[in-house]
C-alpha cells in the first residue's frame, strides 16, 4: 500500500466518524451555548479546514457554496463578527459527504514530496501538513464525541480505515 492509499483510507475513516457525530447530535446540543464554540460551529470549522487543506495550496481553494464569512473561525476574530447563524445538521452532513467525496482525487493531486505545505501558516512539508490535517479532524471529532456522550449518553463508533481501490 502506498502513502496516498493510506491517507485516503484515514481521511475516509476520520470523516465517517465526524459525520456520525454530526448526524447523531440532538438538536438541544447542536446549538447549545454551554460551550464557547457551539457543536455546529466545531463541526463546520473542522469541515472547512479539512476542505481547505486538501487543496494543493491556498489559491486553489474554492469555499463551499453555503460558506458564511467568519463561521469557521474561533476566538476574537469570530467574536468581533457578531452573532453567527447556525448551520443546519443536514447542511453540514451534506458538506461532510462533499469533503469525503473529494478525498481520493484531492490526495491524488497533492505533491506529497513537496517541501512546502502550500499554506503560509504551516511552514512544513506537504506530507506532514496532511498528517496535521488528519490530526485536526481527530481533535475536533473527539471534542464532539465527548460532548455527545456527556449530553446524550451515546458515543460514536470507531472506524479503523476505509479501504480504497
Over residues 12-28, the pLDDT tens digits come to 999 999 999 999 999 99
Alpha carbons 54 and 126: distance in angstroms, whole number? 10
Closest CA to 53 of 2, 114, 99, 101: 99
The grid coordinates of residue 45 equal 470549522
Per-residue pLDDT band for 8 (boundaries 50, 70, 90) equals very high
CATH no. for 3-79+86-152: 1.20.120
pLDDT > 70: percent of the chain: 95
Candidates 26, 56, 50, 30; CA nearest to 41 is 30
DSSP 127-165: HHHHHHHHHHHHHHHHHHHHHHHHHHS------------
Amino acid at each position: 500500500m502506498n502513502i496516498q492509499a493510506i491517507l485516503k483510507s484515514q481521511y475516509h475513516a476520520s470523516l465517517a466518524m465526524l459525520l456520525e457525530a454530526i448526524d447523531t447530535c440532538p438538536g438541544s446540543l447542536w446549538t447549545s451555548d454551554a460551550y464557547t464554540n457551539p457543536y455546529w460551529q466545531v463541526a463546520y470549522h473542522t469541515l472547512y479546514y479539512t476542505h481547505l487543506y486538501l487543496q494543493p495550496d491556498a489559491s486553489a481553494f474554492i469555499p463551499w457554496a453555503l460558506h458564511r464569512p467568519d463561521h469557521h473561525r474561533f476566538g476574537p476574530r469570530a467574536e468581533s463578527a457578531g452573532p453567527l447563524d447556525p448551520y443546519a445538521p443536514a447542511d453540514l452532513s451534506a458538506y461532510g459527504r462533499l469533503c469525503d467525496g473529494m478525498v481520493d482525487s484531492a490526495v491524488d493531486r497533492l505533491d506529497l514530496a513537496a517541501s512546502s505545505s502550500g499554506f503560509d501558516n504551516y511552514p512544513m512539508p506537504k506530507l506532514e501538513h496532511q498528517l496535521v490535517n488528519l490530526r485536526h479532524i481527530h481533535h475536533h471529532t473527539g471534542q464532539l464525541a465527548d460532548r455527545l456522550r456527556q449530553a446524550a449518553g451515546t458515543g460514536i463508533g470507531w472506524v479503523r480505515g476505509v479501504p480504497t481501490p
